[in-house]
A = this chain, B = another copy of it.
C-alpha cells in the first residue's frame, strides 16, 4: 500500500439499470457458475436503477453490505465470487483528488463496504438482483481499476452474482450468449444495438397489487430443469431460432415481429413453469386480464399494437411501438384497471411522464372521462379499482455508468452509511 495510516476511505458509486428479457432465460446448466441452458435477449430499462457505492479502507474489519439501508450478509457465494473475480483483476489505483495510491497487490487485503439502493420497490419483483449485481461489479471494477482482458469479461463476472445481471451492464438491446465453455468465459452479454436505435419504443410496467408468496427464480428454475420435459425441448429446439428472429426484429425495428416473439416467448416460459412438478405459477388472474387486453386489441386491429412479457412474477411489462400507440395503451390500462378511489394519480403512474401528458390525464377523475370506444369498453374485464398497484412508464435505457461523489451512499469520512 502506498500510504501509512488507517484514516483513508476510497469509494466509487455506480448506477446500473434493470432489464426485461424478451427471449427468456430459465434453467442453468451449471448452478455455481450460473451458466444458462439457452441464450436470452433483453431490453435495458430506463427509470429503474440500482445505485451502489463501494468503499475500501484499512479501517474496515469485514466485508459489509447495506441493501436499501438495511444490513444483510455478504457471506453468500454470489457476493464472494463477484468480489474475488474483480479483486483478481485489480491494478494500481491513484486517487486523483488525494494522491492516495492503492497498489495492485494491496486490494486482496482490503475489506469492502457496499451500500446499494433501488429507485423502485424491491418487493415489486422487477429484476432488482440483476440491476444490483451489475452495479456492484461495475462499481468494484472502477474502484479497483480492474480491466477486462476480453470484451464482456465483466458481464461474465456479474453473471456469477445473478444470471440476468450480465445483461444489465449494457444499454439498449442486449444478448446473453449461453456460451460453450465449462469455465463460463464465453457466457457473456453483448449489446445488439444501443438504446437510440429504437428510441420510439415505449415500455409500460404494470405492477400487480396483491401478490402471493412466490417460488424464487433460483429454486424455480432448478425444479424446472429437473422435472419439465418441455423446458429442455424449448432450450434446445426452439430458443436458438427465436434468438435469431428476435435479433432481426430488433435490428429492423419490426414491431409486429418483436411483439409476436415477445408474447410467445413469455407464454412459453410460463408454460414450462406449469410443466414443472410441482407446477409453478407466476401469473395470476390479473396478469391474465392484462394479456387479454393486449391480445384482444391486437386481434381487433389485425396487427400487433402492443406486446407483453412477464418475468417470475405477476407484473406485466408492456411494449408499444411509439408515443401515439403508447397513449392509447395507457388509456386502456387506466380505464380497465383504475387506481383505488383514494389514490394519488401522480403516484399511480410514475417514471416518464410524457405519455400521461399526451393522454391528457391529470386526475383520477380524468380516467372516468376517457373516450371508451365500443371496441374496448365492451371488453369483458371488471373495472376493479386498485387491482394494479401502480404503473411505470419507461423506455429503452442506457447501461451501467459511474456517478460523481454527490451520489455516494456511504459517508466519505467513515465508509459507513450516513
Contact = CB atoms under 8 A, between A and B. Distances in A.
Nearest to A294: B278
Interface string A210-236: 001100000000000001011001100
A275 B281 contact: no
A238 B233 CA distance: 11
Interface stretch (A125-133, A283-291, A346-354): A283-291
A283 B230 CA distance: 19
A88 interface: no
26 contacts: A229-B234, A229-B237, A230-B230, A230-B233, A230-B234, A230-B238, A230-B271, A230-B275, A233-B237, A260-B277, A263-B279, A267-B274, A267-B275, A267-B279, A268-B274, A268-B275, A270-B274, A271-B272, A271-B275, A278-B291, A278-B298, A279-B291, A279-B295, A281-B288, A284-B285, A285-B285
A299 interface: yes
Interface of A: 212-213, 227, 229-230, 233-234, 237-238, 260, 263-264, 267-268, 270-272, 274-279, 281, 284-285, 288, 291, 295, 298-299, 380
Contacts of A278: 263, 291, 295, 298-299
Which of A268, A274, A281, A380 counts the most B-chain CB atoms under 10 A from its CB? A274
B277 A267 contact: yes
Q: Binding site of A, secondary structure by majority: helix, strand, loop or mixed?
A: helix
A275 to B, nearest CB: 4
Given A278-B298, A281-B288, A284-B285, 6 more contacts: A227-B264, A264-B275, A270-B274, A271-B271, A271-B275, A278-B295
Contacts of A276: 267
Contacts of A285: 284-285
Nearest to A213: B380
A40 to B, nearest CB: 17
Which of A234, A271, A281 counts the most B-chain CB atoms under 10 A from its CB? A271
Contacts of A299: 278
A284 B286 CA distance: 10
Nearest to A233: B233
A82 to B, nearest CB: 34
Contacts of A229: 234, 237-238, 268
A274 B233 CA distance: 16
B380 A268 contact: no
Contacts of A281: 288
Contacts of A279: 263, 267, 291, 295
A258 to B, nearest CB: 14
Contacts of A264: 227, 275, 277
Nearest to A232: B233
Contacts of A277: 260, 263-264, 267
Nearest to A273: B271
Contacts of A271: 230, 271-272, 274-275
A263 B233 CA distance: 20
Contacts of A212: 380
Which of A212, A227, A275 counts the most B-chain CB atoms under 10 A from its CB? A275
A382 B43 CA distance: 37
A260 B295 CA distance: 34
A301 to B, nearest CB: 13
